[in-house]
Structure 1
């Protein structure tokens, strides 16, 4: 082979090697061409609405107002799915199409751009759920004259679901984070941050919007339950102490301890949870004991709001892992919450 031919062959081989190197560097495989893919997000997340508990009609009007505001007023870094958990409301393709049509109309009426509307519709995921009365709770439970028989048993199902059942839900248990909103929750003005990005960047495990007590008449027995559990688990007792937990008077008197006393609560209509922190063996053991007596939810009407606060104070480092997310302009049932100065995250 002449020098010129050898030189040409070498040049071709070198050029081919360079092209292959650049293609691999750019994420391109010459045997299976594809675009360069951006790195996957470092976590998974979802927004959750429990839109129906019992089969049958439930007005979606408030939800149709809430969803476009959630889409428009939060600068989402990633378009995470919006899970509409329902018990029969959207089982058919027709019911789902009708909802999405109405959602598009609502988004347009709120002046969402075509792009924002399309992104919102793409995020919607209809997730069927089932809520059954536990053993020992009769279907006609109101005949037992429970502490609170309103919305029987839908409200009680909801409280039990968000207190402990949610952490075993197959669509939710493997997420890194979820943000629960209610259908009457509204992000009432533009926020400067993505809630998921904020908690991830700050290594937080829980974020809430407002704290207020649940009345003593719907938390009967909760003080003794938490106290007795802490006494039997020194690590929980120590964690409560380090979190500056305050007990009612006469804690060590077994009869009537905390009777009639309000229980501190997080308002869980805005409930941002790092799921793995609520699925540790220690937390799971507590949730199993909590669930072992269904009358707590179906007779005494314990709510998920005081239960969530108890879970947080018993197992998390409140100072390091918990944040009041007042940076997000928010309202519930039309009542605006207090806001605070927002410091946006830097990329």
Structure 2
């Protein structure tokens, strides 16, 4: 993998981190008393006023998982992942939610993975979903294959696939009013009303939502959500 130029290819510690975030952090003794979490990485930026309680928003609107950025995964890091996902579904069809979000993950009804996932360095979510029977068995099945180490499976695709398959699609929420940056990718509200109302300090031209390597356009397509009126101004068409 290192010879192919894959980032973190030679780092065992990175693999431990991804595995821990995929299947263990929510069972840590310090976390057991909590239902919700907001993942905050080092070297991130928030650009807009958060003038409401996002945890309360999730609870009152029956949401399980919130994100700001969606992106394509590096295929070489997860070459066998989708095959194992399909094996799990075939053996455990009872866990597949009737109103799942498969069309976000796959363009052909689940035969192949389109690599779209929610960028998990920002997550606001309900840990009781990760603690559920469906996700626990899903993670344990993936973990038994060794893919976190023999390949370089990230927690972002694992979380995204899990919540998209085993939760109701309407329980996944896009926080379009929390300006956010990590590394070279940013979400900045491009709707002028949101940008002004939340007193954002980011530059709308920095928004990644509708750019080529983002899954934002795909997300809006499969959900049927209305795009901001000026979205084409900030898009790769």
Deviation at 1:248, TM superposition (A): 5.9
**Would the alpha carbon gap of residues 281 and 152 (structure 1) be closer, same or farther in structure 2, given more than 3 Å must change?**
same
Match of 2:165 among 297, 303, 314: 314
Cα-to-partner distance string for 1:147-176 (whole Å, 9 max, x where unaligned): 765461121111111111113211113311
- In structure 2, the residue matched to 1:326 is 176
Q: Count residues with an aligned counterpart.
A: 192
- Note if contact 1:166-1:173 (Cα within 8 Å) is conserved in structure 2: no
Match of 1:212, SS state, is: strand
Which ranges of structure 1 fall in alignment gaps of 5 or more residues?
A: 1-141, 253-257
CA-atom RMSD in angstroms: 2.9
Deviation at 1:234, TM superposition (A): 1.9
- In structure 2, the residue matched to 1:289 is 141
- Is the aligned partner of 1:273 residue 2:152? no
- In structure 1, the residue matched to 2:12 is 153
Deviation at 1:251, TM superposition (A): 6.5
- In structure 2, the residue matched to 1:100 is none
- In structure 1, the residue matched to 2:73 is 214
- In structure 1, the residue matched to 2:84 is 225
- Please give the TM-score of this superposition, normalised by the length of structure 2: 0.70
Cα-to-partner distance string for 1:113-170 (whole Å, 9 max, x where unaligned): xxxxxxxxxxxxxxxxxxxxxxxxxxxxx99x99765461121111111111113211
**Would the alpha carbon gap of residues 282 and 188 (structure 1) be closer, same or farther in structure 2, given more than 3 Å must change?**
same
Match of 2:101 among 238, 243, 252: 243
Determine the C-alpha separation between the residues in 2 that align with 1:157 and 1:193: 34
- Please give the TM-score of this superposition, normalised by the length of structure 1: 0.49
Deviation at 1:327, TM superposition (A): 1.2
Determine the C-alpha separation between the residues in 1 that align with 2:184 and 2:106: 33
Query: Greater CA radius of gyration, 1 or 2?
Result: 1
Matches within 5 A, 1:190-209: 190-209=49-68
- Is the aligned partner of 1:303 residue 2:176? no
Relative contact order higher in (CA < 8 Å, ≥ 6 apart): 2
- In structure 1, the residue matched to 2:227 is none
Determine the C-alpha separation between the residues in 1 that align with 2:182 and 2:135: 29
Determine the C-alpha separation between the residues in 2 that align with 1:190 and 1:285: 38
